[in-house]
Amino acid sequence: MNNYCPCGSDKPYAECCEPIITGVLPAQTAEQLMRARYSAYVGAQMEFIFESTHADHRKGYDHAGTKQWAEESEWQGLEIISTKNGGAGDTTGEVEFIARFSDKDQTTEHHEIGQFIKENERWYFADGRMVRPKPMAVAKIGRNEPCSCGSGLKYKKCCGK
């Protein structure tokens, strides 16, 4: 059995996220809390998800529905894109991440920028904002340039009509 932490840290679960999830140790950084929250979703440990959410952002939380969704999902990995602040000496932090999972045969990449708050020496998840895919850059083709379709004609005589 693979005992590495689901958060992708390459550390054993018992030395990585488990002490944070079980309350033995608090998360020292916003990123540690983000990793522990991902691991808690993998293990359907909804009490930790609830408790690690800032009290101002718990309204409407559905323990049963979230647990069912977490248990039915196939968790495929966490990728930390970037962090901004969120260190041991900070009171706020931001973690951009992608959580990959399959739900009902639909593979999903949940790309979010999570906001974290530190109060009374404990980190909490406050809010998240989905990251939208950037529009694909389309190079403008001049009317007299070769058409991008590969026909060999000028753009104005081909697709630019």
Q: Give mean pLDDT in consecutive 10-residue pieces for the chain, a chain of 161 residues.
A: 86 97 97 98 97 95 93 96 96 97 90 97 96 73 79 79 73
pLDDT digits (tens, 9 = 90+) for 50-70: 999 999 999 999 989 999 999
- Please report, for the chain, the start and end positions of each structural domain, with discontinuous segments joined by +: 13-130, 136-161
| Measured distance CA(131)–CA(114) in Å, rounded | 10
Prediction pTM value: 0.81
The pLDDT value recorded for residue 73 is 95
DSSP line for 89-121: T-SEEEEEEEEEEEETTEEEEEEEEEEEEEETT
| Measured distance CA(70)–CA(95) in Å, rounded | 21
DSSP line for 24-86: SS--SSHHHHHHHHHHHHHTT-HHHHHHTB-GGG-TT--HHHHHHHHHHSEEEEEEEEEEEE-
The third-level CATH classification (topology) of the domain covering 13-130 is Nuclear Transport Factor 2; Chain: A, (3.10.450)
| Measured distance CA(95)–CA(32) in Å, rounded | 10
Cα–Cα nearest to 32, from 51, 56, 55, 8: 8
Q: CA end-to-end span of the chain, whole Å?
A: 62
